[in-house]
Structures are given as C-alpha cells and as structure tokens.
Amino acid sequence: MNAWNEPSQLCRFLERFAYMFPLAAADRRRSYVFFRGWMPAFAFGCEQIDSILGADKRYFAWTRIREKFGAPSLAYQMRGQARHVIHAHRPTEVRRICCAPRASFEPLAVAIQEAVLLVEMALRESCIVCAAPSLIVNAGGPWASLCGEHRESAFLKNLEDISLWKVAELSQI
C-alpha cells in the first residue's frame, strides 16, 4: 500500500463516507487527524465497516481519529450495544480486557467493534509517514509508528523546524 499524498484523495474519501465524519469546523480539526501512511489501511477499514453496516448505518460516526504514543486512538459511536471488551493500547502490545459476555451484545455491533480493532492493529504496523511495515518506537522524543527508513536519525534530524506529525499529516486543503 502507498501513502496518500494528495488532499484530493482525502476529500473523495470523506465525501464517500460523509456519514462517518459528522463533526465540523473546530470540532472536526480537533477530533480528526489523518496521517498519510495510515490512510490506505484506515480507508480499507472504513470500507469494511460500511459493508458490515449494510443499508442501516445505525448512526455510525467516528468521534476521534488521532494518534497517541505511536498507536492509533480511534473512537466511534453507533446505535447498538457492543462494548464487551476494551482494547488497551501500549507501544509494545494491545491487551484485550473482557467486560461482559460477548453473547449478551448485538452481533452487528460486536462485528463493528472487531472491525475497528483490525483497523487499529493494521495502523500500529503501518508507518505513519509512508505506509511501509513499521514498529512503534521512541523516535528521538515522540513515540511513533515508523518504518526503518523513517526511524533513521538522518530523516529525524531533517525535521528540525517541523514536527514528525506535520510531515505525516494529510490535510484537506
């Protein structure tokens, strides 16, 4: 997969899945941060979620798409009870904490929660800059999901006046 580098790619994606991204203006800028290297896997995940939802979108909406300590920080809301597990992300692992018996929740809502976990796992293993296979590492300061090339000190030193996040971010503008 190749990183997305064109704002037009992001605009087309957001138009296609407009129901998933209802926030606007300052709320949108604060809640949704799209990274070039994560967009191929994230877009594929949104396609999977859309397919699972079918015609009834159940008011599915992303409420947060960000990065924290190198891992994706994704949150969504939808009609239907599904929180049978919590996925605790750490730089080196994801722990699954069971909250309640899976059978007591709606199957479709559980399927969406599982699809979101697959997206999170794919993003953890994708370079935030270029989409190449990566590891979450402490990149000379911030934790980030970076491939070998972008973990190199030469790349990081060239970022003197700009942050890693600004290099990786894909804007609609």
pLDDT in tens, 58-110: 999 999 999 988 999 999 998 876 665 666 666 667 776 676 666 667 888 88
pLDDT band at 127 (very low <50, low <70, confident <90, very high): very high
pLDDT band at 113 (very low <50, low <70, confident <90, very high): confident
3-state secondary structure of 93: strand
Mean per-residue pLDDT, 125-135: 95
- For β-strands 61-68 and 71-77, DSSP reports them as antiparallel
pLDDT band at 168 (very low <50, low <70, confident <90, very high): very high
pLDDT band at 173 (very low <50, low <70, confident <90, very high): low
Question: What is the DSSP secondary-structure string of 155-171?
Answer: HHHTTTTS-HHHHHB--
Rounded-to-integer distance, Cα 10 and Cα 23, Å: 16
What's the pLDDT score for residue 84?
Answer: 57
Rounded-to-integer distance, Cα 40 and Cα 123, Å: 9
What's the pLDDT score for residue 147?
Answer: 93
What's the pLDDT score for residue 159?
Answer: 75
pTM: 0.88
Domain chopping of the chain, boundaries: 7-168
Residue identified by tokens 């190449």 is 132
The two tokens of residue 49 are 């979620």
pLDDT band at 130 (very low <50, low <70, confident <90, very high): very high
Displacement of CA 26 from its chain's centroid (Å)? 19
Q: Among 134, 168, 164, which residue's Cα sits nearest to residue 5?
A: 168
**Between helices 39-53 and 107-124, what is the axis angle to 10°?**
170
Burial of 108 (0-12, 13-18, 19+ CB in 10 A): middle
Tens digit of pLDDT for each residue in 13-62? 999 999 999 998 888 889 999 999 999 999 999 999 999 999 999 999 99
Q: Angle CA(15)–CA(82)–CA(90) in degrees, nearest 5? A: 80
